[in-house]
């Protein structure tokens, strides 16, 4: 016969008492015997659950200073540009080697003569283009007709009309008659104002530019930076110190400022000047 488990019996008795309305306490159900299949009780209490760690406090980020924020937002130089910038010093050195100082140019005697003519008041008396005024005209070969040889004009400009007061100067056979010192106003002396080099420059300007003198090619030193005027024999008119000299290399003027050799051009084989 199959044995009924005690717990079922207890349940059945409780049910029966409830149906019968019995007021007494139901007999307590006998404790169930442990079954052979029940696992042995735990010998030790389960350890208390580990306490949950508290969540870390998140610190609010500090505000970024404006200058830092500006630096972070600023556009960066591209990496490829950095490599290009690295070559700038080398490029600068190479570029500097391609540069050269501008050549030092020296004004020719004719160019310098124009500056002397304007800067010393000559244009105020004789006109900017040599047309004349309170002084005699130079244009249309007028000054070349008066001074067929350049040394005579150099002497007159050096001494002024005071050096020839009442005396003829230049060509005595000039067309229209010889000029007399002082009969057309007073020409100031420039011997103390101009150097010999400036004297030659301004006289050349008056003769070649304003009056139209045609100078033979062999009397212009085109090989020199200043294109110096030469004597008919090819000798320079200025020495290395800038002093006017004659065709023999001697000083052109004496101590009084007069020509030491009045016929220097003639003695050098020169001909009277002509104009265009």
Least confident of 5-9, 47-51, 196-200: 47-51
pLDDT (tens digit, 9 = 90+) per residue, 53-63?
A: 777 777 777 78
Helix (H) or strand (E) holding 54: none
Distance from C-alpha of 118 to C-alpha of 142, rounded to nearest angstrom: 19
The count of structural domains within the chain is 1
Residue 218 counted as domain residue: yes
In this predicted model, what pLDDT tens digit does every residue of 248-259 receive, in sequence order?
999 999 999 999
Asked if residues 181 and 164 have their Cβ atoms less than 8 Å apart, the reply is yes
The 8-class DSSP code of residue 224 comes to S
Residue 163 CA to residue 155 CA, distance in Å, equals 9
* CATH number of the domain bearing residue 137: 1.10.760.10
With beta carbons less than 8 A apart as the criterion, state whether 120 and 202 touch.
yes
44 pLDDT higher than 70: no
Distance CA 37, CA 30 (A): 19
Residue 32 lies in a domain: no
Whether residue 256 contacts residue 242, with contact meaning beta carbons closer than 8 Å, is answered with: no
Domain for residue 63, yes or no?
no
pLDDT higher than threshold 60 for residue 46: no
* Cα 144 from Cα 174, distance rounded (Å): 10
The CA-atom distances, in angstroms, between 176 and each of 19, 171, 173 are 179, 11, 8
133 falls within a domain: yes
Which of 31-35, 66-70, 173-177 is predicted least confidently? 31-35
Q: Are 229 and 204 in contact (CB under 8 A)?
A: yes
Report CA-CA distances (Å) from 60 to 57, 63, 91.
9, 9, 51
* All residues at 6 or more sequence positions from 245 whose CB lies less than 8 Å from its CB, including other chains: 235, 236, 237, 238, 239, 251, 252
- The more confident residue out of 48 and 237 is 237
Tell me, yes or no, whether 250 lies in a domain: yes
Range(s) of the domain holding residue 119: 109-275
Give the H or E element holding residue 180: strand 179-180
- Tell me the pairing of strands 274-275 and 179-180: unpaired
pLDDT digits (tens, 9 = 90+) for 112-121: 999 999 999 9
- For residue 27, being part of any structural domain is answered with no
**Residue 17 belongs to some domain of the structure:** no
Kindly state whether residue 62 falls inside one of the protein's structural domains: no
Query: Is the whole-model pTM more than 0.75?
Result: no
């Amino acid at each position: 016969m199959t044995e009924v488990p005690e717990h079922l019996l207890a349940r059945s008795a409780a049910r029966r008492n409830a149906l019968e309305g019995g007021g007494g306490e139901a007999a307590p159900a006998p404790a169930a015997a442990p079954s052979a299949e029940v696992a042995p009780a735990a010998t030790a209490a389960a350890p208390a659950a580990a306490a949950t760690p508290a969540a870390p406090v998140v610190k609010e980020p500090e505000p970024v200073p404006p200058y830092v924020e500006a630096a972070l937002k600023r556009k960066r130089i591209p990496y490829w540009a950095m490599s290009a910038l690295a070559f700038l010093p080398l490029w600068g050195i190479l570029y500097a080697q391609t540069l050269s100082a501008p050549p030092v140019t020296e004004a020719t005697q004719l160019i310098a003569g124009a500056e002397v003519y304007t800067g010393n008041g000559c244009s105020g008396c004789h006109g900017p283009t040599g047309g004349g005024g309170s002084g005699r005209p130079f244009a249309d070969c007028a000054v070349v007709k008066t001074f067929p040889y350049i040394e005579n004009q150099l002497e007159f400009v050096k001494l002024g009309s005071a050096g020839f007061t009442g005396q003829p100067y230049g060509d005595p056979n000039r067309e229209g008659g010889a000029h007399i010192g002082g009969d057309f106003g007073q020409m100031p002396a420039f011997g103390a104002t101009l150097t010999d080099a400036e004297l030659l420059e301004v006289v050349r300007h008056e003769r070649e530019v304003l009056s139209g003198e045609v100078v033979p090619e062999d009397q212009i030193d085109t090989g020199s930076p200043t294109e110096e005027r030469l004597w008919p024999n090819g000798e320079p008119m200025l020495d290395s110190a800038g002093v006017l000299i004659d065709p023999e290399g001697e000083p052109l003027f004496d101590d009084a400022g007069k020509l030491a050799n009045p016929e220097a051009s003639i003695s050098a084989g020169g001909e009277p000047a002509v104009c265009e």
